[in-house]
A and B are shown apart, each in its own frame.
Chain A
Amino acid sequence: MNQISQTLERFGGVYLLPVIVGLIAFVLIGAPSSWVTLTVAGLSMGMMIFLMASGLSLIFGLMDVMNFGHSAFVSFGAFVSASALAYLSGWLGADSVALNILALFLAFAAALAFGLVAGWFFEVVIIKPVYHDHLRQILITMGALIVSEQIILAIWGGAPVSVPRPAFLEGSWLIGDVTIEIYRAFAFALGLAVYLALFFVLTRTRIGLLIRAGVENREMVEALGYKINRLFVGVFMVGSALAALGGAMWAGYETLITPALGGEMMIVVFIVVIIGGLGSVEGTLLGAIMVGLMANYIGFLAPKLALASNMILMMAILLWRPSGLKPAVK
């Protein structure tokens, strides 16, 4: 195992894993066009999961808070965005791409704004009283997730809600034998843009330095003169808003959503955070891409194993790296 690890490190370390998985899948799948389609689907799925999971990873790393209610923001983001899109359906179906984009932008902005405000409320009212108490965090955040599902049921009802897509994201690009769904390419591009923005903030700004330092040693950040509680609130709000944005993207991807969405995504989101390594945005991206690729490849190669693929991946990675692929330095 050590030899494998050393060889891997020499050629790019854990960043090489998605490439290795892709190459193995290429051999097993055989048909290049199917492989490209599955790879694009896997990458876009990974990017949407990254949006949902990145905030949770930072919240856990910085605040040491186990927030099982995180996926409530995913659900609300999906439903708020779906309602906004339904309200703006006239713009969505218009021939004007500008109107399409504006409708989508407003729907995502609504999801983000909801995530920010709800994140602030959640942190101040639910999380703050149980700082440093993991058992109570689990109980109260699980309770919050159940309550949020009931609120969604009360507002939107139990029937599946259909999510309209803007006209410019409908359809596919046909490149030779390869079919690429436009929405998936868009999801990939948006996820990448969010990752690059997060990467820039975390590595090039003072607030980013503080977050990275706080993930490692909160006490020392305070001893340097910073009020870390304010940072907690800010990170929680941004993390919740990103989850809501991920939910909004996921809603457009699925086109039919139910109140159980949050509960279903919670497991995947936690798997990604654990695989990636707590507190690390890079690790979360890597974990999300691995989960997305594996789900699509295994779904194609061995459909009966598709549901178990995430668990198998998590077990394999934790056996190899118990702290995850790219954990924050502690």
Chain B
Amino acid sequence: MSLLSLSQMKTSIGQYHVLHDVTFDVPEGGVFVLLGRNGAGKTTTLRSIMGLWKPSPGSVRFRGEDIAGLHASDIARKGIAFVPENMGVFGGLTVEENLVLATAKGKFDDVRLKRIYDLFPALEQFWTKQAWSLSGGQKQMLSVARAIIEPRELILIDEPTKGLAPSIIDGMAEAFAEIGQSTTILLVEQNFNFAKRLGQGMAVIDDGHIAHTGTMPDFAVDTALQEQLLSLSS
């Protein structure tokens, strides 16, 4: 059974119909990538899954349970974490306070904290600094760390490489590969090389519709399909 299953999900924002028919399954484990051009509906898809925009009609099933229409906080409590495109860190709070808020009981699990320090050493270094003073890459690390400070079943990550330096992107890819071994990641990404490196399953969204689903290894070698769906030239 799929961990997450979207069926004919439609989302409107105001008078605009952004998602017309989004249907795909995310299997449990590993990294599933959602690709698409600018404005295709990738971010809207993630936000709709997270309950930040209400999809109607259609279904969003997480472990078989329909979560469409639930409040974002209820969806989060079911084990889904969200790393938004703008990272969503609380700038006035310290690194520690940002992470404390993401814990269920306000206390850290030592093992998970050690894992975060290993993945993102900068966070330990800037533990007591306010988040606004971090660099873009460090904010992204904090945002991802917040998603894994508690056990989660699914992490929705929206364009994590946007605006980051290549050296930071490499580190981020290694971290995601490591996280993907124990948690399912649904990754929205425009950086195809990054997506290719991490993804196992994939889908392409175009103008609010799912235009293609398959495996990343197959898609990575099909340059004609890439050109057709993403306007990528080899």
Binding site for B on A (CB under 8 A): 206, 209-210, 212-213, 215-217, 219-228, 328-330
Report how far A223 CA is from B146 CA in the complex, Å.
11
Query: A209 and B50: CB pair below 8 A?
Result: no
CB distance from A181 to the nearest CB of B (A): 37
Cβ-neighbour of B73 out of A216, A226, A329, A330 (below 8 A): A226
- Give the complex CA separation of A223 and B97 in angstroms: 16
Nearest CB of chain A from residue B145's CB, rounded to whole Å = 13
**Which chain A residues border B50 with CB–CB below 8 Å?**
223
Closest to B90 in A: A213
Q: Which of B4-12, B99-107, B186-194, B226-234 contacts A (4 or more CB under 8 A)?
A: B99-107
Q: Across chains A and B, which 4 residue pairs bring their CB atoms closest together, nearest first?
A: A329-B92, A225-B76, A220-B88, A329-B91
> Bound complex: CA of A139 vs CA of B106, how far in Å?
40
Q: Would A227 and B91 count as touching, CB distance under 8 A?
A: no
Contacts of B70-115 to chain A: CB distance below 8 A: 71-73, 76-77, 81-82, 84, 88, 90-93, 97, 100-102, 104, 106
Contact B84 A220, beta carbon cutoff 8 Å: yes
12 A–B contacts, CB within 8 A, in A order: A206-B100, A209-B93, A209-B101, A212-B90, A212-B93, A216-B92, A219-B72, A220-B84, A220-B88, A221-B101, A223-B52, A329-B91
**With A206-B101, A220-B88, A227-B73 given, can you name 11 additional A-B contacts, CB distance below 8 Å?**
A209-B97, A209-B100, A213-B90, A217-B88, A219-B88, A220-B90, A221-B101, A222-B76, A223-B76, A224-B73, A225-B104
A225 and B92: CB pair below 8 A? no
A219 to B101, CA, bound (A): 14
In this assembly, does B117 line the interface, its C-beta being within 8 Å of a C-beta of chain A? Answer: no
Q: Could you say which of B82, B97, B101, B130 has the most chain A C-beta atoms within 10 Å of its C-beta?
A: B101
On whether the beta carbons of A225 and B52 are closer than 8 Å, the reply is: no
How big is chain B's contact interface, by range? 20 to 34
List residues of B whose CB falls within 8 A of some A CB: 50, 52, 71-73, 76-77, 81-82, 84, 88, 90-93, 97, 100-102, 104, 106, 130, 132, 146
Chain A positions within 8 Å of B90 at CB level: 212-213, 216-217, 220, 329
Could you tell me the distance in whole angstroms from the C-beta of A110 to the nearest C-beta in chain B?
A: 35
> Given known contacts A206-B106, A213-B101, is B91 in contact with A224 (CB within 8 Å)?
no
Q: In the assembled complex, how far is the CB of residue A195 from the closest CB belonging to chain B, in whole angstroms?
A: 18
Q: Which of B82, B88, B146 has most A Cβ within 10 Å?
A: B88
Nearest B residue to A219 by beta-carbon distance? B52
Provide the bound-state CA to CA distance between A224 and B81, in Å: 7
Q: Is the CB of A225 within 8 A of B91?
A: no
Among A213, A223, A225, the residue within 8 A (CB) of B93 is A213
A216: nearest residue on chain B (CB-CB)?
Answer: B90
CA distance A219 to B91 in the complex (A): 14
Complex Cα–Cα for A227 and B73 (A): 6
* Contact A224-B100, Cβ < 8 Å, known A209-B93, A216-B90: no
